[in-house]
A and B are shown apart, each in its own frame.
Chain A
Amino acid sequence: MERVVTSGAATEVTLKPKDYKSDIKPVWCPGCGDFSVLAAITRALAALKVAPENVAVISGIGCSSRIPAYLDTYGFHGAHGRALPLATGLKISRPDLCVLVAGGDGDGFSIGGNHFLQVCRRNVDITYIVMDNQVYGMTKGQASPTTEPDWDRSKLTPHGTRINAFYPLVVALASGANFIARASSSDPNGAAKVIGEAIGHPGFSFVQVLSPCVTFRPEQRDWKKIVRPAPIEATTDPAAAARRLMTDDNFYLGVLYKGNRAPFEPDSAGQPSTEQELEEEFKV
């Protein structure tokens, strides 16, 4: 079978970003960064001219995981933390589709943490967009894996978590992700460009989008003043990328690593058999 690198057959008609949006009103709070991420995804898809029916957006549970319903593509809003394996099964069995996974930091790095490691290793050709706001919003403001250890505003952890924050980009690199980038909801055009590039890159692509929770982390409104483009080109050297990510202050934006590992492909036999031929081995 011929490998489909950029999957999701193109549209014949020109579509605008709004053509990828459904008419369902998001549950998000006014000012939530996720509105911009939704806009960025629709812009990226429109720019790639991929037909909406050839896109599947898979998510787990959380505020940002509600995103599939807001898109006029196929979607699956599944179980908490399990979007990545669901997307893996879909992409392996339907390589013709453009498969995106979208969700939050708790869904992806805590309850779904092991799947994040394994999906980076497996390198199936899917794109994972994490709207990182360092908090559990849907359950009203608990610490997430990316929360700073001294954040003490949650009733569950009134003295702070006092455990190290998780650095998803570093972990993604160490686990074998083939494309690693950071974007910000304060720059939807930049985010759209990065997401488009991630979709186009073969293998597993990971995009962290800094997306403030204005309700439970209002101080994150200031992120837009801190974020700035990374002053470098994307590297293909994992060692250089590791140094860069380990010294990163978590606010540099852009494509930070682009690997060239071949995407995962299932094994296939040269000579196809029939179901009847499979029975032969059982005959006495």
Chain B
Amino acid sequence: MNDPAISIALVGSGGSGVMTAGSLLLEAAGRAGLYGMMSRSSGPQIRGGEAAALLRISTRPVFCLGNRFDFLVAIDWANAERFAAEIPLDTESTIVGDDDIPDEFSASGATFKEVSFKRLAAQSAGLRPNMIALGLIGSAIGLPPGELEAVAKKLLDHKGKATVEASVSALSIGAATLDGLKTIDIKTESVAELWNISGNEAAGLGAVRGGVRFVAAYPITPATEMLEWLAPALEKIGGTLVQAEDELASVNQLIGASFGGTPSLTATSGPGLALMTESIGLAVASETPVVVVNVMRGGPSTGIPTKSEQSDLNIALYGLHGDAPHLVVAPLSVSDCLFSAQWAVHLAETLQTAAIVLSDQSLAQTRAVIPRPVDVFFGARRAVQTEAWEDYERYATVPGGVSPMALPGLTGCQYTADGLEHNTQGTPSSRVEDHARQLDKRRDKLALHDYGDHWAHIDGNGPMAIITWGSSLAPVEEAVETLAPEGIALRVIAPRLLMPVQPERMAAALEGVETALVVEQSHGGQFFHYIRAFYAPECELHSMARPGPLPIRPADVTHAIREQWRGS
């Protein structure tokens, strides 16, 4: 395949500025009219640990890392070997850095160019090794020097003239050390408005667009940046973010705020979701809309907080006690984090239930230069009782199942929301018929809703299909593109709505499929078992399930497909 993308890994010890250099490189590429993405990988240390910025820059939008890296630029090599599996190199690759390259990298046969960024920086005061590295790699891939200078100035302007001048000087020193290095020129083309946004920020913006004005949360990696974006954003638009004492408190604060009429959301990761599950059930039972964005990381337990995995699917689907129908929505790309969060808020509000949004570290902490996401508007809002009514019943069984919610302050409709099973008025009841009626109500309102085409991303046709979800979609799509010229046509089905399940729609999507591969980033094949359990496809069904933290790469998928369907 003619891959126009360039992949670059920047590594260094924590505090060496690799993330800053990577972010500036991405921003400069965007200014030059290019698309790109940068994912972050780091060790567990707060400061001083190893860090890697993994970039892919292209003339067209890219949503996943490539199969290999063209450049590995090391500001230093401290513990960089821990990333060896995440940075595949080959004889076409180029390594730039000090000469004490770890064997794990030198064994690749990549071309080595010795550059000591620290020594170059020591030439004069104020020079920073990461800015020299940025100048070098920016120049290597053919970015206009003016764009690199512009982004550096924007970042450092507040630090004064001397700092800006030193950084400009560092950029040109970096660019000048280029002699003998293989350069790749990227032809830039004019494009529409571009955004540089992370999945966490996109989900935050989606939440705000969905109408969220109250957020309560407890800090947790890798969801915290979403909260850090939301705190000032909510303050600006008249909302509130509260840092709660724990996840038990944060989800209950949401329920309280939502009971009062304010659309509410929290962001967390696996351990936090586990703590919240009891009260997510309360939101379901009391029919109080709340949205929980769960940014998945390696599990179980504390697991691998800084790296990605799609292994919270089971807890999101099945983690609530009792029969507790709720919504599970999974964004399919960095930019889709915006739509999915907005949609989840819309669904939770209109269906008066809990929604779990399953993002993951690789979406959330990846920055991407993307075309501006399209504006989406959902007209429907929460059904609210607006007039006093003597016979008001909060949990009335009505057609469609969604009964209007009275908000405190409305005269004559006082009721008590309850996690105890209740009758239509909300009075606690353990009667057989009340339980049956309310179970049906909570199920039916979700089942009867028309989720439209948003339920899944479906592309292609033919008898062979790949069923996947979330961040695994991007490498799958790239693999499909790679295989097309070989005459291998593949259908791709990626549900965005994981609960409630959509058997009729899935059956239509699978019409004519003879064999399907289920691709996911989990050890236990959670998504595969979900597909089997709820959709029971009549076709042959195979599983490609691999745990994190190694990202699924397009080549992994093409390999699996060739293995699976050799000769077919």
A: which residues have CB within 8 A of B?
A: 24, 51-58, 66, 68-69, 72-79, 81-82, 84-94, 96-97, 114-115, 117-118, 266-269, 271-275, 277-279, 282-284
Interface size class for chain B?
A: 35 or more
Q: Are B408 and A54 in contact (CB under 8 A)?
A: yes
Q: Are B260 and A85 in contact (CB under 8 A)?
A: no
Q: Are B417 and A76 in contact (CB under 8 A)?
A: yes
Q: Are B256 and A87 in contact (CB under 8 A)?
A: yes
- Across the interface, which residues of A come within 8 angstroms of B417, CB to CB? 75-78
Which residue on A lies nearest to B411, using beta carbons? Answer: A53
A284 to B367, CA, bound (A): 12
Within 8 A of A (CB), among B174-206: 193-197, 201, 205
- Across the interface, which residues of A come within 8 angstroms of B372, CB to CB? 283
User: Which one of A51, A76, A267, A273 lies within 8 Å of B416 (CB-CB)?
Assistant: A76
Q: Are A90 and B246 in contact (CB under 8 A)?
A: no
Determine whether B30 belongs to the interface, using a CB cutoff of 8 Å to chain A. Answer: yes
User: Which one of B201, B261, B279, B416 lies within 8 Å of A77 (CB-CB)?
Assistant: B416
Min CB–CB distance B233 → chain A (angstroms): 5
Cβ contacts B364-408/A at 8 Å (1 or 0 each): 000001001000000000000000000000000000000000101
User: Which one of B201, B205, B253, B369 lies within 8 Å of A85 (CB-CB)?
Assistant: B253
Min CB–CB distance B235 → chain A (angstroms): 5
Q: Are A77 and B235 in contact (CB under 8 A)?
A: no
Q: Are B236 and A266 in contact (CB under 8 A)?
A: no
User: Which one of A93, A114, A268 lies within 8 Å of B246 (CB-CB)?
Assistant: A114
Determine whether B220 belongs to the interface, using a CB cutoff of 8 Å to chain A. Answer: no
A283 to B27, CA, bound (A): 10
A82 to B262, CA, bound (A): 19
Min CB–CB distance B308 → chain A (angstroms): 22
Which residue on A lies nearest to B31, using beta carbons? Answer: A284
Q: Are A96 and B409 in contact (CB under 8 A)?
A: yes
- Across the interface, which residues of B come within 8 angstroms of A76, CB to CB? 255-256, 259, 286, 416-418
Which residue on B lies nearest to A274, using beta carbons? Answer: B237
Contact A94 B253, CB 8 Å, known A52-B414, A275-B237: no
Q: Are B409 and A282 in contact (CB under 8 A)?
A: no
- Across the interface, which residues of A come within 8 angstroms of B262, CB to CB? 93-94
Closest 3 CB pairs of A and B: A89-B256, A89-B253, A75-B416
A1 to B214, CA, bound (A): 17
- Across the interface, which residues of B come within 8 angstroms of A88, CB to CB? 242, 249, 253, 256
Q: Are A74 and B244 in contact (CB under 8 A)?
A: no
- Across the interface, which residues of A come within 8 angstroms of B248, CB to CB? 81-82, 85, 115
Min CB–CB distance A215 → chain B (angstroms): 20
Q: Are B236 and A77 in contact (CB under 8 A)?
A: no
Q: Are B252 and A82 in contact (CB under 8 A)?
A: yes
Min CB–CB distance A166 → chain B (angstroms): 18
A74 to B286, CA, bound (A): 13
User: Which one of A85, A266, A282 lies within 8 Å of B256 (CB-CB)?
Assistant: A85
- Across the interface, which residues of A come within 8 angstroms of B258, CB to CB? 89
Contact A278 B30, CB 8 Å, known A78-B252, A114-B245, A284-B369: no
A284 to B259, CA, bound (A): 39
Q: Are A93 and B260 in contact (CB under 8 A)?
A: yes
- Across the interface, which residues of A come within 8 angstroms of B257, CB to CB? 89-90, 92-94
Min CB–CB distance A236 → chain B (angstroms): 27
- Across the interface, which residues of A come within 8 angstroms of B196, CB to CB? 282-284
Determine whether B415 belongs to the interface, using a CB cutoff of 8 Å to chain A. Answer: yes
Q: Are A86 and B255 in contact (CB under 8 A)?
A: yes
Contact A75 B252, CB 8 Å, known A24-B427, A275-B237: no
Determine whether B61 belongs to the interface, using a CB cutoff of 8 Å to chain A. Answer: no
Determine whether B442 belongs to the interface, using a CB cutoff of 8 Å to chain A. Answer: no
A217 to B249, CA, bound (A): 32
Cβ contacts B411-437/A at 8 Å (1 or 0 each): 111111111100000111000000000
Identify which of A53, A84, A96, A277 gathers the most chain B CB atoms within 10 Å of its CB.
A53
Q: Are A273 and B237 in contact (CB under 8 A)?
A: yes
Contact A78 B282, CB 8 Å, known A58-B256, A88-B242, A273-B236: yes
A84 to B258, CA, bound (A): 15
A282 to B427, CA, bound (A): 49
User: Which one of A51, A72, A78 lies within 8 Å of B279 (CB-CB)?
Assistant: A78
Q: Besides A79-B419, A278-B236, 5 other CB < 8 A contacts?
A: A53-B410, A85-B250, A94-B408, A115-B248, A272-B237
A90 to B246, CA, bound (A): 17
Which residue on A lies nearest to B408, using beta carbons? Answer: A74
Min CB–CB distance A282 → chain B (angstroms): 4
Which residue on B lies nearest to A20, using beta carbons? Answer: B414
Q: Are B193 and A283 in contact (CB under 8 A)?
A: yes
A267 to B231, CA, bound (A): 10
A126 to B418, CA, bound (A): 20
Within 8 A of A (CB), among B243-295: 244-246, 248-250, 252-262, 264, 278-279, 282, 286
Which residue on A lies nearest to B388, using beta carbons? Answer: A53
Q: Are B195 and A282 in contact (CB under 8 A)?
A: yes
User: Which one of B237, B250, B259, B278 lies within 8 Å of A278 (CB-CB)?
Assistant: B237
Q: Are B408 and A284 in contact (CB under 8 A)?
A: no
Determine whether B72 belongs to the interface, using a CB cutoff of 8 Å to chain A. Answer: no
Q: Are A275 and B195 in contact (CB under 8 A)?
A: no
Contact A90 B410, CB 8 Å, known A77-B416, A275-B237: no
Q: Are A266 and B240 in contact (CB under 8 A)?
A: yes
A52 to B412, CA, bound (A): 9
A91 to B240, CA, bound (A): 12
Q: Are A283 and B419 in contact (CB under 8 A)?
A: no
Determine whether B326 belongs to the interface, using a CB cutoff of 8 Å to chain A. Answer: no
- Across the interface, which residues of A come within 8 angstroms of B249, CB to CB? 82, 84-85, 88, 114-115, 118
A73 to B27, CA, bound (A): 55
Please list 15 pairs of residues, one from A and one from B, whose beta carbons are closer than 8 Å in the complex, sorted by A's number: A24-B427, A52-B414, A69-B426, A76-B256, A76-B417, A82-B282, A85-B256, A86-B255, A89-B252, A94-B409, A115-B249, A273-B236, A282-B196, A282-B201, A283-B196
Q: Are A90 and B279 in contact (CB under 8 A)?
A: no
Min CB–CB distance B378 → chain A (angstroms): 14
Identify which of A24, A82, A114, A267 gathers the most chain B CB atoms within 10 Å of its CB.
A82
Cβ contacts B340-354/A at 8 Å (1 or 0 each): 000000000000000
- Across the interface, which residues of B come within 8 angstroms of A86, CB to CB? 252-253, 255-256, 259
User: Which one of B208, B369, B411, B419 lies within 8 Å of A78 (CB-CB)?
Assistant: B419
Determine whether B213 belongs to the interface, using a CB cutoff of 8 Å to chain A. Answer: yes
Min CB–CB distance A96 → chain B (angstroms): 7
Q: Are A93 and B214 in contact (CB under 8 A)?
A: yes
Min CB–CB distance B334 → chain A (angstroms): 12
Contact A272 B242, CB 8 Å, known A52-B414, A79-B279, A90-B256: no
Min CB–CB distance B204 → chain A (angstroms): 9
A24 to B420, CA, bound (A): 15
Q: Are B419 and A77 in contact (CB under 8 A)?
A: yes
